[in-house]
A and B are shown apart, each in its own frame.
Chain A
C-alpha cells in the first residue's frame, strides 16, 4: 500500500538523466574522477606511485605519518596493502563513471542530437581509456568491463585475461576521430589530447612507427582545447603557476579549482606535500626529493648531464645540509647544476619560490627520516595565496590550490617523439626535440635568483650531436628524468625501458646509507614493477576469476 512507499530524498533516478543536461552532467562526474577525489594514493599527480616509486623522492615526513605508504617506498608492497587497493578502486571508479555515461547514452531521449551523442561518447571513451591506461601500467591484467556489462549481468565473473592495450587504443582512436579541436570548455579532452594519449599508448607498446607518425602530426598541428598552438612556455617555472593553467604546453590536465565548497575539486591529492609547520601550506612534509635525484642535476663543463651516472661519485654529489641545524652555518654547493634543480626541489639557502630562502632543517619535519629536501613543483606562491588561489584543507591548513595537475604536456610529447625518432626516424630529429626542451631551461631570465645573482652555479648546455642510438637513448631518457622530475613519470618510464631494477637499486643503495631508518635494507625486485591485485577483490571474486600477478 502507498503508506509504505517512501520516496528517497536528494537523489535522482536513471530516467531523469537521459536528456542532454543529464548526459552532460554524468560526463562531468566522469571528469570529476580524474582528480581521484583528492585521494593521496591514486591522485593524478602520481606523486606516490610514480615519483616515489621511481626514486625521485621518498615518503618523507615522520615515519608514523602515512604509514601505509612505507611499503611503497621500500618496495615491500603486498596484496593486503591499502595503497594498491585504493589505486585499483579509484581507477575503476573512473572506468565505471565513463561506462555509466555510455550506458545512459544508449537510452538517450529522442531530443538529444546525434552530434552531441557522438561528442559525449568520445569524451567518455577518452576518460575510460585514461583510467585503463593507468590500470594497465600499474596492474597489467585487470578485468575489462565496458558499458554493456553491469550488476546482475555478469560483471562479477569477468576474468582478468584480456590484454587492455587494444581496448585502450580503440577508445583513444575513437576520441581522436570524433572530438573537435577546440571548445569553450577548456577542460575537455580534444582531438589532439586524444592523439597525444594514443601516441603515448603506442610508445608504451614499442609501436614506434605508429607513434612517430602521430607525433609528427601532433607537433605540426596540435592545439589546446582553448585554441593555443602547442608550444613550450618560454620559462620552465611558469608551468607551475596557476595563472598559466591550460597554457600552450598543457595537452591534457586535471582542472583544479578553489571556492567550489569541496577540496576534492582542488588538487587535493597533493595536500600532504607542503612544508610542515610553516608556510607555504604548513602540512605535512611528505614527498621529499631523494639525494640521488638531486645529484642527477649535476652537469659537466658543457652543461650536460652525467649520463654515465657518475653524478653519485663523492666528487660530484651535491652538497647537502643533512644533519645540520638551521642555526648552524651551511655553505651551498658551488658546482655546476642544471637550473631546473631549483625549480623542482626546495633546498637550503635557495629561495623557496617567493617565500624567502629555504631554511633547511627547520622546514623539514623529520630530517633523519626524510632527508633535507622539499618538493617545490606543486607548491603555491605567496602571491597565489594572496590572490585567493589556495584553500584550507582537511586539517585546517592551506594545502588546496587551483593548480592543474598535468597528465600530458608538450615537453613530454617532444621527448616521447624523440624516443620514437631514435628507433624509427632520425637521430637529428631526436636531437632537435631534446634540445628544444633543454633550450627552454637555458633561459637565464628564468634562473632562481638570490641577491640579484643566480642562486647557484647554473650551467646548462645543448647537445651538439647524438653520435649513436645508445647515446641518444641515454640522453633522452636522462632528459625525461630531469624535465619531468617529481611529476609522476619516472617509475613508469623506468619500467617500460627495462631499467627499473638497475636504476631503482642504484637509488636505494645511495639513499639508504643516508636514510637508514626509512630505506635501510630495502631492495627492488622485478616483480614489483606491477602492483598486486587487491587481496580483498580476489577474496570476493575468486582466485579462479582474478589471477594474481607473479610474486605475490
Chain B
C-alpha cells in the first residue's frame, strides 16, 4: 500500500471541504478537511479514486504512480455552467441571453407518474402544470401564462423533432429537459413557439466509454384513496328531507320515508315495484321473482334492503392503487460509436377499478462516426401504450367538470347498499333518491373497455463537418401511431332514469403518420476575444395524416364479452370514418450570436414560417427576436465584490407566433353531408333517410398568425463561491391578432363561423429560482432549490365590440359560472355577489316589493325568502337583475412555486418537495348537488347542510334547506360556490441509501441504492372540496369542480442498480 494525498478544489480554486474520497473496489475511504485536503491509503498498483461531493459532479481518477492527486470538481446543479439543449443547438447557459430553465432527470423520476410532464409542476419558474390523479391523465401545461383563447400548449420537442404528446417517454430515458420561455430563447421555433418550448433529449451514451454501463431502476408503490366528503347518514338524511319539506310548506310524504310528522326509515327500499317497505318479507318468495336481465323493463324485479348503517360510497368506489416502473438502461460506446438502449415497463392502477395506464417501451439511440467528420445516428422508440378508464374530455382534464363516478359517490344516498339482496346492483331504481347511477357498477363494467396504441417514433440524422467549426445536419423524423379500442355499455337497470335494457358496444381504430424534415448548418468560432455562433436552417413537417373508423350498435343476443363483436349486434349503426390530411408547416430560420470576451453577448434570431392552416394571403409569418447579456462580474469595478462569483444581466425582445387555435379548414367555405344534421325521411318510409347537404363552415381566407411580443429582463447570478445561485426574470408577453371564432349573427344559420384575428391579451410575471447549497458541519450536505412564479393574465381585447367571449358559457344544471371577459383572466368566474342571507321577514318583504327604489338598502329581488341568498345590487338601481352579475374570481393562480430540499448525510439522502399554488379560486359546483335539496331530490346530502340557516342558526352562509330552486337559491351562479383554491402540498418526502461503493462492488455492482418515498403527504388548504387541484375542459373553461379526481397519498419503494 502507499499513501496518496492532494487537494479537492472547486472551479474557482477554493478548497472543497467534506468531499468523499474512496478507492474503487475497496473499503478504503476518507473525507477532505476544511481546506479540501485529504490523504488516503491505496493499493500499490493501479486503482481508481472516486471523489464526490454534493453539488459537484463525481470524478473518477485512475491512479498511476503519482502520490499527489489534486482534483477540481465541476459544479453539478441547475446552475450557470450547465449545458442547455435547445433542440437545434447545444449552448452553455453561461453564454445564453434568453430565459431558459432546465429540469434534472432526478426530479422527473422522483414521483412515478404516467406522463413525465406532470413532474414539471413546481420545478420550473414560469411554468404551471394542472393535472388530475387519473392514470394517464393529460396536463394543462402553460409556459408564462395563457397567450391565447385556446391552443396554449407549449411546443414539445423530443430529440429535435416536434411531438404532440410526451406520454410515451420513459423518464429514466431522459437526459435533459430544457424549457425555453421567452422570445429570444424560443424564437428559433418561431411560429410555433409563442407558448414556450419544452425540449427533451434522451440518453445517448458516451464515446470511448469502454465499458458497457448497465442500470436498473425500479419503483413500486401504493396509492391510498383517502377519505371522501362527509355525507349524511340514513337517519340524518331522512330527517333533513323532512326539514326541506317542512321549510317549503310541502306535505310530509316521501316514497321511502312514509307520511307523517317523523320520517320512517324503511327496512327495504324496493321490493318489486313497492318502495319504502317496512317490515319483513318472504325472501325466498321474492328470490323466485328476482329478475335483473329483462328482457323488457317491466320484467325487472329487485329487492333492495336499506343499509341503515350507511354506505360509504367513496370507500366502496375506490381501492388501493398500485404503480410499478422498471427500467433497464444500457449505455456505452466505442472509438467511433455510442449507444443507449432503454427498456421500460410502467403499470399504474388507479384508485378506481377501471382506471389503468400501461406503457412498455424500447428506445434505441445510436451514433456512429462514418469518417472523422461525418456522423450518422438515430433515436427510435417503440412504445405500447394503454390508458384505460380515463374519464373526462381534454385527455381527462375535463373530469373535474363532469358528472362522473367521483361525483356519483357523493350523489348516492348512504341508505342505498351497493348491491341488492340477490347480488345485482342497487341504486336509485328505489324511488325517492334522485336519478344517479351506481358508481361502483359503472367502474366494474368499465373494466371491459380496452384500447391499444402502438407508437413508433424517432429520427435519423447525418452530421457533416466539411470544415472545422462548421457542422451541417440533416434529420428526418416521424411518428407512426396505430390505435384501436372498444367499449361496452352495460344494461343499466339499477337507476331511475338511465334504464337501458341491452348492451351497447363500439369499436374504433385508426392511424396517424407525421413527419419532420430538418436541415441545419452551424458555425461556431472564436477569434481572439470575439466569439461567433451562427445557425441557419430549414424545416418542413406534417403533423400527421391518417384515418379513423368507428362502428357501434347494441342489443347482442348475449352479454358475454367474448360473444360481443360488431357482427353479433342485432342493431348496428352505420359505420363512420374520418380522413385527416394533417397540417403542414414550412420554415426557414437563422440565429447569430456574437460575444466579446464572454462579457458582452448579443443574439439575433429570425424565423419565417408558413402553415397550411392559413390561406394564401397570410400563409407566412416572420418572427424576429434580439437579446443581449452583459457579464457584470467580469467588469473591473465588480472585482472588489468577492461575494459575487458570477453576475450576468440579460434582456430580450422579440416576437413569436401561434397557429394552434385555428381549425385547419378555417379558410374554406364548406358543405357537409351528415345523417343526423342534414338527412331527412322525405319519402315517409319510417325506415331511413335521404341524404342532404348543409353549409357547415364559413371560410376566412385572411386569417393570419397570432403574434406574441415578449419582453424579458433577467439576471443570472452566482454568489458566495457558488453557494447561492439566483435566476430572476421579469417578463411581459403581449399577444395580438388572437384568433377567435367571433360569433356571427344567427340569421346566417348554424354553419361554423371562421376564426378571425381580433383579440389581444397580456400576461406578465416574475420568475425566480434560488438555489443554495452547502454543508452543515462536516458531514451534512444540503441543497435548497426554490422556484416561484408570479403571473397576471388579462384579456385586453376581444373584437367585434364584444366584452366577453359569447361562445364559452358552460352550464352545470342551470348554473353558468364562467365568463371570459375584458380586463380579467381567462375562465374567470361570474355571477351574483352574495352579501348574506335574508334574516328577517321584514327584509324579505322589502325585497319582494314589485317597484324598485334606486339605492334601496334591500333591493327588490325575485324569489326572496327567509334564509335565501341576498345578492348585491351593484348598479344601485334598487333591483337585482342580470346587470348585477360580476367578476367573482379567477382560477389562474397568482403565484405558484416549488421548494426542493435535499439533505445528505454519509450515504443517506433525504429529499423533500413542496408545491404551492396561491391566489386561485375554485368554483365548487358539486355543492349544487350535495347542499341543495331540489336538484334530484333525495340524492345524498352533505354534512355541511346541518349548519344551514334556520331561525335558530342565523350566523351561517349556508342557505335554508328547502324545496325551492329559484332565483334566490342555488340555481344562479353566485359567490356562494366560489372558494379559495390556494394550497400548499407536501408532495414528496423520500429517503435514499446509497450502499458504499465497496459493498456494492463486492456484489459485483457499481452502484446500489434503495429509496422509499411518500407522495402527497399533506395538503394545507381552505378548500372544501376533495382536492384543490382542479383542471378543466379548456383554458377558457376550467377551475370548476364537479367530480374532481383527488391527489391522494402514495407510498413508493425503489431500487437503483448499476452493474
A residues sitting closer than 8 Å to B (CB atoms) are 1, 3-14, 16-17, 22, 25-32, 34-35, 37, 62-65, 67-68, 70, 76, 78-80, 82, 88-89, 92-93, 95-97, 99-100, 143, 145, 150-151, 155-156, 158, 184-188, 226, 242, 245-246, 255-265, 276-279, 282-284, 323, 325-327, 359, 361-362, 365-366, 368, 389, 392, 395-397, 402, 404, 516-517, 521, 534-537, 539-542
Q: Which residues of A contact B434 (CB under 8 A)?
A: 62
Query: Contact: B683 with A151, CB < 8 Å?
Result: no
CB of B852 within 8 A of chain A?
no
Q: Which residues of B contact A361 (CB under 8 A)?
A: 255
Query: Contact: A258 with B745, CB < 8 Å?
Result: no
Q: Which of B929-949 contact A (CB under 8 A)?
A: 934-937
Query: Contact: A517 with B693, CB < 8 Å?
Result: no
**Cα(A155)–Cα(B745), bound, Å:** 8
Query: Contact: A67 with B965, CB < 8 Å?
Result: yes
Query: Contact: B750 with A96, CB < 8 Å?
Result: yes
**Cα(A527)–Cα(B579), bound, Å:** 51
Query: Contact: A263 with B676, CB < 8 Å?
Result: yes
CB of B835 within 8 A of chain A?
no
> Which residue of A65, A262, A263, A279 contacts B936 across the interface (Cβ within 8 Å)?
A65
CB of B800 within 8 A of chain A?
yes
- List 23 A-B pairs, Cβ < 8 Å: A4-B619, A7-B581, A25-B678, A28-B678, A28-B679, A63-B965, A76-B862, A93-B746, A95-B749, A97-B694, A156-B745, A187-B683, A226-B684, A257-B681, A260-B681, A260-B688, A262-B675, A265-B680, A362-B275, A395-B497, A396-B504, A539-B802, A541-B745
Q: Is the interface of B mostly helix, strand, loop or mixed?
A: loop
Given A65-B936, A279-B298, residue A242 in contact with residue B686 (CB < 8 A): yes
> Which residue of B489, B694, B802 contacts A396 across the interface (Cβ within 8 Å)?
B489
**Cα(A535)–Cα(B885), bound, Å:** 14
Query: Contact: B497 with A4, CB < 8 Å?
Result: no
Given A257-B686, A258-B686, A277-B499, residue A323 in contact with residue B250 (CB < 8 A): no
Q: Which residues of A contact B668 (CB under 8 A)?
A: 8, 11, 13
Q: Pick out which of these stretches binds chain A: B328-336, B582-590, B643-651.
A: B582-590
**Cα(A22)–Cα(B499), bound, Å:** 41
Least Cβ distance of B831 to chain A in Å?
12
Encode B635-679 as 1/0 by CB contact (under 8 A) with A: 000000000000000000000000000001100111111011111
Q: Pick out which of these stretches binds chain A: B316-324, B441-449, B695-703, B952-960.
A: B695-703
CB of B273 within 8 A of chain A?
yes
Query: Contact: B802 with A8, CB < 8 Å?
Result: no
CB of B540 within 8 A of chain A?
yes
Query: Contact: B685 with A265, CB < 8 Å?
Result: no
Number of interface residues of B (CB under 8 A): 103
Query: Contact: A63 with B584, CB < 8 Å?
Result: no
Least Cβ distance of B670 to chain A in Å?
4
**Cα(A497)–Cα(B375), bound, Å:** 90
Query: Contact: B683 with A184, CB < 8 Å?
Result: yes
**Cα(A186)–Cα(B500), bound, Å:** 34
B residues sitting closer than 8 Å to A (CB atoms) are 248-251, 253, 255, 273-275, 296-298, 429, 431, 434-435, 489, 492, 496-500, 502, 504, 540, 554, 573-574, 578-586, 610-612, 619, 664-665, 668-673, 675-698, 743-751, 800-803, 806, 811, 813-814, 862-863, 882, 934-937, 963-965, 967, 971
Least Cβ distance of A502 to chain B in Å?
20
Least Cβ distance of B746 to chain A in Å?
5
> Which residue of A186, A188, A276, A325 contacts B497 across the interface (Cβ within 8 Å)?
A276
Given A97-B694, A150-B748, residue A67 in contact with residue B971 (CB < 8 A): yes
**Cα(A145)–Cα(B750), bound, Å:** 15
Least Cβ distance of A76 to chain B in Å?
7
Least Cβ distance of B922 to chain A in Å?
22
Q: Which residues of B contact A284 (CB under 8 A)?
A: 497
**Cα(A37)–Cα(B678), bound, Å:** 9
Query: Contact: A283 with B683, CB < 8 Å?
Result: no
Given A6-B664, A186-B684, residue A13 in contact with residue B582 (CB < 8 A): no
Given A64-B965, A362-B431, residue A257 in contact with residue B689 (CB < 8 A): yes
Q: Which residues of B contact A255 (CB under 8 A)?
A: 680-682, 684
Q: Which residues of B contact A88 (CB under 8 A)?
A: 746
Query: Contact: A32 with B692, CB < 8 Å?
Result: yes
Query: Contact: B687 with A261, CB < 8 Å?
Result: no
Query: Contact: B579 with A9, CB < 8 Å?
Result: yes
Closest to A363 in B: B273
Query: Contact: A151 with B744, CB < 8 Å?
Result: yes
Query: Contact: B698 with A151, CB < 8 Å?
Result: yes
Closest to B800 in A: A540
A35-B680, A282-B499 are known; give 15 further A-B pairs, CB within 8 A: A1-B610, A4-B584, A4-B612, A13-B668, A28-B678, A31-B682, A32-B677, A32-B694, A64-B965, A65-B936, A96-B749, A185-B684, A255-B682, A264-B675, A535-B882
**Cα(A399)–Cα(B499), bound, Å:** 11
Closest to A243 in B: B686
Q: Which residues of A contact B586 (CB under 8 A)?
A: 1, 3-4
**Cα(A263)–Cα(B571), bound, Å:** 14
Least Cβ distance of B447 to chain A in Å?
19
Given A25-B693, A282-B499, residue A542 in contact with residue B580 (CB < 8 A): no
Closest to A258 in B: B686
Given A17-B671, A28-B679, A265-B681, residue A396 in contact with residue B500 (CB < 8 A): yes
**Cα(A542)–Cα(B686), bound, Å:** 44
Given A29-B678, A265-B689, A516-B250, residue A3 in contact with residue B540 (CB < 8 A): yes
Q: Which residues of B contact A325 (CB under 8 A)?
A: 255
Query: Contact: A397 with B683, CB < 8 Å?
Result: no
Query: Contact: A260 with B744, CB < 8 Å?
Result: no
Q: Which residues of A contact B677 (CB under 8 A)?
A: 29, 32, 37, 264
**Cα(A532)–Cα(B8), bound, Å:** 82
Q: Which residues of B contact A539 (CB under 8 A)?
A: 802-803, 806
Query: Contact: A187 with B684, CB < 8 Å?
Result: yes
Query: Contact: A265 with B934, CB < 8 Å?
Result: no
Query: Contact: A542 with B801, CB < 8 Å?
Result: yes
Q: Which residues of A contact B811 (CB under 8 A)?
A: 68, 82
Q: Which residues of A contact B685 (CB under 8 A)?
A: 257
Query: Contact: A11 with B696, CB < 8 Å?
Result: yes
Given A13-B670, A92-B749, A536-B806, residue A262 in contact with residue B692 (CB < 8 A): no
Given A3-B586, A95-B747, residue A29 in contact with residue B692 (CB < 8 A): yes
